[in-house]
């Protein structure tokens, strides 16, 4: 059961600011999401051991430099940034 307190805590951790209305609908949504994901626990897996990476191991990369992306491409999603930086304007209340 998801409570309003759970949502408030999660919102705080995620730096989200929700109105009362948004909180109520988030409780409903989250209950649905968890219920949906919980379906999987109904499966009887017997003694089979498994994890979320299918028992795979050691996919390692050699330590070889490849050229990085151009700065303008890196900053393209943030309207070009400011002076080469990602830019976060002072938060105004």
Partner 1 sequence: MKYELVSGLETHVELSTKTKIFCSCRTDFGGEPNTHCCPICIGLPGTLPKLNKEVVRYAIMAGLATNCEINLISKMDRKNYVYPDLPKAYQISQYDLPLCKNGYIQLDSGKKIRIARIHIEEDAGKLVHKGGDVYVDYNRGGVPLIEIVTQPDIRSSEEAREYVEKLQLIMRYIGVSDCKMQEGSMRCDVNISVRPEGSEEFGTRTEIKNMNSLTFMTKAMEYEKNRQIELIENGGKVEQETLRYIESSGTTESMRGKEDAHDYRYFREPDLVTIHTLSEEVENIRKSLPELPTARIKKYIEKFGISEKDAESIVKYKNISDFFEKAIQGIENPKIVSNFIIGQIFSTLNNEQEKESFDIKVSAESLNELCKLVESKKINVGLAKSTLLKMLETGKNVSNFISQEDMQSISEEKLLEICKKAVDSNPNAVKDYLSGKEKALKVLIGFVMKETKGKVDALNTQKNILDTIKNI
Nearer to partner 1, 35 or 84 (CB): 84
Residues that bind partner 1 (CB under 8 A): 9, 13-15, 51-53, 55-66, 68-69, 71, 74-75, 77, 81-90
Closest approach of partner 1 to the CB of residue 77, in Å: 8
Closest CA to 26 of 46, 15, 11: 11
Closest approach of partner 1 to the CB of residue 18, in Å: 14
List phi, psi (to 5°) of 71.
-55, -40
User: Are 26 and 19 contacting, i.e. CB atoms less than 8 angstroms apart?
Assistant: no
């Amino acid at each position: 059961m998801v409570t309003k307190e759970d949502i408030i805590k999660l919102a705080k951790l995620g730096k989200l600011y929700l109105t009362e209305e948004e909180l109520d609908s988030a409780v409903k949504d989250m209950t649905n999401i968890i219920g949906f994901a919980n379906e999987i626990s109904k499966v009887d897996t017997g003694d089979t051991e498994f994890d979320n990476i299918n028992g795979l191991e050691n996919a390692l990369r050699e330590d070889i430099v490849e050229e990085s992306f151009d700065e303008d491409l890196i900053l393209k999603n943030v309207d070009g940034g400011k002076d080469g930086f990602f830019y976060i304007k002072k938060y105004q209340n």
